[in-house]
């Protein structure tokens, strides 16, 4: 959730760290800080609010000189947003040296550790669990920062990604991880540590990814030790917290700087909504064999037989990915004819789930680092399930913990409110369902028909995107209303709850999504004159039922905004506003019907004057429980 950046190399560190924090702003945060180490000691600066406040502090205060440092954007867990609670946190060693540390995650046993350290004379200035870790490293420091970090981490329980510096070793960063992402970029005579590749891509595409319980020591300093930017020597090594050496493979990042720039758009969310035709093309590229009429998923080839014989599929996810998983549940049962269930990962892992032989667990996550989803996947694996991953971030933790999987390949998603990743997740789950369906029950002709329609999706999505101005005008008429309903049936029920989530996330309007039939069982009491109710009412098996639900809302004075199929002239009799999508097979409709709801939410947030890409209280990747 929070953001970590560290730099050691021949360039002044402060400006590079601030630049890196700006690239991580989309992750969500409430305060920021940095620490720079040099021959003069460690200089720490912190601020509440945006990174720009910290940037101004660095410029006006001065003294942030040096070629090595760490920085952080904090999303409050332990303690309110404040300067004392902001990172970096520091500790004083027995020999009088200063340790500075930034941390993502939660230290579960921080209370007994805090008492232990207080009894040894350490004075705490914050309410955070992180300060405990900083002072623990200081307590065990004996002239070797790497060993101090290893020793301290053997005493903690919980999750962490940390980067640590010490004024006694002014050209060294020690970083480590367990359960929270951390990567190291290898640049020209320099290293960049970050919790997200976005902070690294401007400097290098060569990275190493740490695994759990691994520690990396990064040294890049002037050979004459003056720290003046002269001839620099670089060195890194990777160990476990038990000081066992490990080799890490250097890999290449799959995206470039241009993909994480706005490129003329006002917001990243709008850019990513508009990128969806190309995102779908990239997701489908190389995965459809027209000659044989089949789906090609190389990531599943090694376990195809096990998947065909599987008796049950469990999809685990959170948030938007959970809604994609619900569609996946429908797809697997409809196209592959195999029992499937989508579960909130946070609930699944704590309720002693029954995993029978022949169970496949699919973890769906944009980042591949979602803490609850990763934990649910681990739980399922330990109970004997085959583990699959559907993720966007190559090399992420979930992708490394699964038996097999499929990447989305939709490109980096910066906007906190997920859009193109959702469409990519649904596309991949559709491919998996067809991949299995052809091998179980579906005829070649049926599979070929679906594949032909799948390949038309990018152009069809482009047609839907052309309605952006029309959707904005319709939203203007009801933007003052604070309560909305989103209703759908069948495949479009998950689309309805995804639409409601989008509106909540960025416009702060209260919205509920539910099956259209559920409205009569209580929520209909909420409907009064002018209340906006959004229906997904495309042509399909339950079309007439949805029309009846629309009439029930209109009879009570509600304002109906309807996503309908192109050419459906009758729908105008029931709708105050209509957004159309091209006709397509029912299992493929969600990748079209969700588009107007994304646009609706975007315009609602802009009309209400909110920061679309940095909605309050939210983080892009939720890496704590």
Instruction: Render pLDDT for 88-99 as a digit per residue (tens, 0 to 9).
Output: 999 999 999 999
Mark whether 425 and 532 lie in a shared domain.
no
Do 145 and 239 lie in one domain? The reply is yes
Do 246 and 270 belong to one domain?
A: no
Q: What integer pLDDT is reported at residue 292 of this predicted model?
A: 85
Residues sharing a CB contact under 8 Å with residue 325, sequence separation 6 or more, in sequence order: 315, 316, 317, 342, 362, 364, 425, 429
Is the pLDDT score of 226 beyond 60? no
428-459: per-residue pLDDT in tens?
A: 999 999 999 999 989 999 999 999 999 999 99
More confident residue, 75 or 212: 212
Q: What is the percentage of the chain residues whose pLDDT exceeds 70?
A: 95
- Helix H segments across 122-214? 130-140, 145-153
Q: State the pTM of this model.
A: 0.79
CATH number reported for the structural domain that contains residue 518 in this entry:
3.40.50.10490
User: Residues 162, 275: one domain?
Assistant: no
The answer to the question of residue 16 being in a domain is: yes
Query: What would the mean pLDDT of 376-403 be, rounded to a whole number?
Result: 90
Residue 310 lies in a domain: yes
Distance CA 542, CA 538 (A): 9
Residues 421 and 471 both lie in one domain: no
Pick from 179-183, 219-223, 353-357, 489-493: least confident: 219-223
Instruction: Determine, yes or no, domain membership for 617.
Output: no
Asked whether residue 182 falls in the same domain as residue 214, the answer is yes
Q: Does 508 lie in the same domain as 431?
A: no
Tell me the three state secondary structure of residue 624: coil
Averaged over 189-197, what is the pLDDT? Answer: 90
State the DSSP string of 405-452: EEE-------SSS-SHHHHHHHHHHHHHHHHHHHHHT--HHHHHHHHH
Q: Is the same domain home to 66 and 146?
A: yes
Mean pLDDT of 354-366: 93
Host H or E run for residue 197:
none
CATH number for 87: 3.60.20.10
Same structural domain, 446 and 471: no
* pLDDT at residue number 198: 83
Q: Which of 494, 549, 441, 199 is nearest to 319 (CA)?
A: 494
Structure-token pair, residue 399? 């992708």
In this structure, the answer to whether residues 34 and 145 fall within a common structural domain is yes
Single residue among 224, 252, 280 that ends a domain in this structure: 252
What is the span of the domain harbouring residue 150?
A: 3-252
Q: What is the pLDDT of residue 30?
A: 85
> What would the mean pLDDT of 256-276 be, rounded to a whole number?
82
Q: How confident is the model at residue 188 (pLDDT cuts 50, 70, 90)?
A: confident
Classify residue 159: in a domain, yes or no.
yes
Q: Do residues 373 and 410 share a domain? A: yes
More reliable by pLDDT, 74 or 324: 324
621: in domain: no
**Does 619 fall in a domain?**
no
Least confident of 377-386, 408-417, 421-430: 408-417
Last residue of a domain, one of 195, 221, 252: 252
pLDDT computed for residue 75 by the predictor: 76
Q: Which of 402, 421, 456 is the last residue of a domain?
A: 456
The total of structural domains in the chain comes to 3
- The band of 596, judged by pLDDT with boundaries at 50, 70 and 90, is very high
Residues designated catalytic: 2, 620
Pair 321, 444 in one domain:
yes
> Is 461 part of a structural domain of the chain?
no
Return the minimum-mean-pLDDT range out of 76-80, 462-466, 520-524. 76-80
Residue 624 domain-assigned? Answer: no
Mean pLDDT along residues 319-330:
97
């Amino acid at each position: 959730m929070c953001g970590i950046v560290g730099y050691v190399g021949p360039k002044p560190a402060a400006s590079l760290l601030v630049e890196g924090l700006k690239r991580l702003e989309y992750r969500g945060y409430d305060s920021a800080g940095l620490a720079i180490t040099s021959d003069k000691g460690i200089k720490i600066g912190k601020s509440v609010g945006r990174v720009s406040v910290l940037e101004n502090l660095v410029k006006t205060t001065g003294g942030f000189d040096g070629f090595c440092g760490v920085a952080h954007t904090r999303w409050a867990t332990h303690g309110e947003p404040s300067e004392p609670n902001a990172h970096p946190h520091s500790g004083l060693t027995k020999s009088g040296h200063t340790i500075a540390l930034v941390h993502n995650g939660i230290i579960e046993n921080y209370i007994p550790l805090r008492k232990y350290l207080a009894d040894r004379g350490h004075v705490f200035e914050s309410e955070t669990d992180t300060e405990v870790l900083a002072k623990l490293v200081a307590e065990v420091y004996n002239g070797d920062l790497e060993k101090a970090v290893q020793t301290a981490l053997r005493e903690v329980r919980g999750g962490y990604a940390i980067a640590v510096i010490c004024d006694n070793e002014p050209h060294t960063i020690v970083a480590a991880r367990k359960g929270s992402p951390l990567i190291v970029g290898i640049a020209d005579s320099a290293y960049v540590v970050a919790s997200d590749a976005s902070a690294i891509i401007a400097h290098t595409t060569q990275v190493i990814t740490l695994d759990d319980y691994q520690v990396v020591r990064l040294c890049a300093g002037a050979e004459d030790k003056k720290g003046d930017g002269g001839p620099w020597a670089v060195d890194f090594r990777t160990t476990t917290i038990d000081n066992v050496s490990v080799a890490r493979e250097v890999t290449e990042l799959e995206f470039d700087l241009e993909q994480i720039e706005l490129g003329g758009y006002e917001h990243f969310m709008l850019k990513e909504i508009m990128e969806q035709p190309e995102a779908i093309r990239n997701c489908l590229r190389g995965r459809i064999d027209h000659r044989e009429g089949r789906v090609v998923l190389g990531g599943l080839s090694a376990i195809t037989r096990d998947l065909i014989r599987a008796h049950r599929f469990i999809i685990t996810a959170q948030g938007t990915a959970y809604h994609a998983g619900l569609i996946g549940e429908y797809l697997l049962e409809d196209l592959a004819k195999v029992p499937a269930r989508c579960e909130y990962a946070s609930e699944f892992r704590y309720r002693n789930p029954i995993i029978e032989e022949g169970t496949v667990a699919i973890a769906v996550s944009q980042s591949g680092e979602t803490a609850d989803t990763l934990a649910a996947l681990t739980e399922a694996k330990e109970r004997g399930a085959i583990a699959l991953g559907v993720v966007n971030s190559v090399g992420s933790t979930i992708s490394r913990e699964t038996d097999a999987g499929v990447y989305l390949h939709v490109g980096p998603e910066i906007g906190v409110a997920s859009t193109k990743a959702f469409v990519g997740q649904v596309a991949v789950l559709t491919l998996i369902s067809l991949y299995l369906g052809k091998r179980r029950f579906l005829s070649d002709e049926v599979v070929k028909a679906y594949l032909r329609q799948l390949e038309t999706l990018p152009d069809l999505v482009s047609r839907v995107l052309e309605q952006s101005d029309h959707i904005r005008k319709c939203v203007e008429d009801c933007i003052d209303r604070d309560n909305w309903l989103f209703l759908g049936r069948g495949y479009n029920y998950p689309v309805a709850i995804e639409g409601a989530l989008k509106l909540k996330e960025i416009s702060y309007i209260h919205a509920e999504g539910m099956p259209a039939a559920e409205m009569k069982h209580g929520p209909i009491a909420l409907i009064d004159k002018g209340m906006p109710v959004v229906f997904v009412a495309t042509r399909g098996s339950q079309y007439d039922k949805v029309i009846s639900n629309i009439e029930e809302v209109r009879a009570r004075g509600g304002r109906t905004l309807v996503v309908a199929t192109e050419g459906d002239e009758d729908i105008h009799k029931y709708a105050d506003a209509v957004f159309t999508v091209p006709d397509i097979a029912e299992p493929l409709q969600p990748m079209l019907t969700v588009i107007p709801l994304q646009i609706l939410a975007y315009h609602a947030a802009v009309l209400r004057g909110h920061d679309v890409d940095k909605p309050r209280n939210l983080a892009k990747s939720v890496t704590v429980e």
